[in-house]
């Protein structure tokens, strides 16, 4: 049994416990932990779900009801659980196709089935060396560290900290399997605009992702003083990773459609939820759209670059609000696809698992940008939440 106190990386497998950025030796994982955000599946679930999401912040139900209208609009049903069921089935099918005998245990951070259930089920079936696959590709508190903190919390609360270990696949923002569906979507949108006679100079591609507090963004990725640290500019690793992927996508589209090299693009943000006094990453997608007619833009492709699948933020903030914003100013708009269960993406996720099963050297790991491959073991103090401070976290060096 592994004790969290015996390792520099709490709750880790022996191979990951040293804290080396990359685990380049084979590890005999016996289960995959598919970790999701979770979402309500009916009107009665909405407020309890939002209480879970905002736990510890003291937000009254009256305020939660004010922000529940996105879910109410869709009968209280978030698409995310159905998507994760489909993803779990697709992962299992790909594992079977490759002859990899690993079960997939699915658990959510904020709604049933919860992570506690998944980890307990795994342990009950004798699966104690788990490799987590979180449904988020980028580095930040909410998209990486918060998952790792929940892994630690679940292992502690269930009493399994000395029995079950949880490692985590690297952040896969620039894995080719994640990037290719975005290339396909932008290529198809651009080709449609050009076929209809819209000149490239009148087309704009907006790569959209979830806004986060600026202070959190600045602390995403390795911190200064760590050998892995590098200056990634304003917005830290979170912004840099998105920008790097967007650049790769546009270059790939231009390689297929040469005139697309004349199409402008930018990174925009959506789904801000903090108080007006707190700085969040900008510009907002709807503000950008409002200004585009003045720049001679007639058509836009809205690319949900920050999302694995069609989350509520995609259905509401992009498919509803952003599309309405484009209609109001007379701009033609297309929202491109998320990876979802695209076979290329699903295969890429299993490739990430195989990397860790085989201990693939970092130099042999595929990555589409010059930022990757990202780390197997998160660096100390990366992705700090300055409001909540550090909590114990798996799959990374403390704190």
Decide the pairing of beta strands 332-335 and 299-303.
Answer: parallel
C-alpha distances (whole Å) from 183 to each of 104, 240, 247 are: 28, 18, 11
- Can you name the residues that pair with 36 across neighbouring β-strands? 108
- List the Cα angle 93/99/104 in 5-degree steps: 50
Domain spans of the chain, in order of start = 4-173+342-364, 176-335
Mean pLDDT of the chain: 95
Which tokens go with 116?
A: 């506690």
Smallest CA-to-CA distance from 307 within 296, 295, 316, 298 is with 316
Which tokens go with 162?
A: 């000395």
The pLDDT of 357-376, averaged and rounded, is 97
The pLDDT of 130-135, averaged and rounded, is 98
pLDDT (0 to 100) of residue 3: 41
What pLDDT band is residue 5 in, cutting at 50, 70 and 90?
Answer: very low
The answer, yes or no, to whether residue 6 has pLDDT greater than 70, is no
Which tokens go with 234?
A: 């304003």
- pTM of the full structure: 0.96
pLDDT (0 to 100) of residue 164: 98
Smallest CA-to-CA distance from 221 within 278, 141, 137, 136 is with 141
Which of 181-185, 210-214, 338-342, 382-386 is predicted least confidently? 382-386
**Domain 176-335 -> CATH class:** alpha beta
Angstrom distance (rounded) from CA 322 to CA 327:
9
pLDDT (0 to 100) of residue 225: 79
User: Is there a contact between 395 and 150 (Cβ–Cβ < 8 Å)?
Assistant: no
Decide the pairing of beta strands 203-210 and 129-134.
Answer: unpaired
The answer, yes or no, to whether residue 230 has pLDDT greater than 90, is no
Percent of the chain residues topping a pLDDT of 70: 98
The pLDDT of 112-123, averaged and rounded, is 98
What pLDDT band is residue 57 in, cutting at 50, 70 and 90?
Answer: confident
Q: Domain 4-173+342-364, CATH 3.40.50.1400 — does that match?
A: yes
């Amino acid at each position: 049994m592994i004790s969290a106190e015996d390792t520099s990386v709490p709750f880790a497998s022996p191979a990951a416990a040293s804290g080396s950025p990359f685990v380049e030796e084979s590890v005999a994982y016996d289960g995959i932990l598919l970790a999701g955000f979770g979402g309500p599946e009916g009107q009665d679930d909405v407020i309890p779900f939002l209480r879970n999401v905002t736990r510890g912040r003291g937000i009254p139900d009256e305020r939660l009801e004010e922000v529940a209208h996105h879910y109410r609009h869709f009968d209280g049903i978030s698409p995310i659980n159905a998507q994760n069921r489909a993803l779990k089935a697709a992962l299992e099918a790909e594992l079977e196709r490759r002859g990899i005998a690993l079960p997939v245990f699915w658990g959510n951070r904020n709604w049933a089935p919860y992570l506690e259930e998944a980890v307990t089920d795994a342990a009950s079936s004798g699966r104690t060396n788990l490799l987590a696959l979180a449904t988020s590709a980028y580095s930040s508190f909410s998209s990486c560290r918060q998952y790792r903190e929940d892994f630690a919390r679940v292992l502690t609360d269930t009493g399994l900290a000395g029995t079950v270990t949880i490692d985590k696949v690297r952040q896969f923002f620039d894995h080719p399997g994640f990037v290719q569906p975005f290339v396909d979507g932008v290529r198809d949108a651009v080709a449609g605009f050009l076929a209809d006679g819209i000149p490239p100079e009148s087309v704009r591609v907006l790569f959209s992702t979830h806004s986060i507090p600026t202070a959190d963004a600045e602390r995403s990725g390795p911190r200064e003083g760590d050998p892995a640290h590098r200056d990634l500019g304003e917005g830290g690793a979170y912004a840099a990773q998105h920008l790097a992927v967007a650049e790769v996508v546009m270059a790939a589209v231009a390689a297929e459609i040469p005139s697309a090299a004349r199409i402008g693009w930018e990174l925009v943000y959506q789904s801000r939820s903090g108080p007006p006094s707190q700085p969040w990453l900008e510009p907002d997608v709807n503000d950008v759209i409002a200004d585009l007619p003045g720049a001679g833009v007639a058509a836009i492709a809205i690319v949900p670059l920050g999302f694995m699948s069609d989350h509520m933020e995609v259905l509401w903030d992009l498919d509803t609000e952003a599309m309405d914003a484009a209609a109001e100013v007379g701009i033609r708009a297309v929202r491109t696809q998320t990876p979802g269960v695209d076979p290329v993406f699903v295969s890429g996720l299993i490739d990430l698992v195989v990397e860790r099963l085989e201990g693939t050297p970092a130099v042999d790991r595929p990555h589409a940008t010059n930022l990757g491959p990202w780390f197997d073991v998160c660096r100390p103090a990366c992705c700090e939440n300055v409001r909540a401070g550090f909590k114990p976290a798996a799959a990374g060096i403390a704190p």
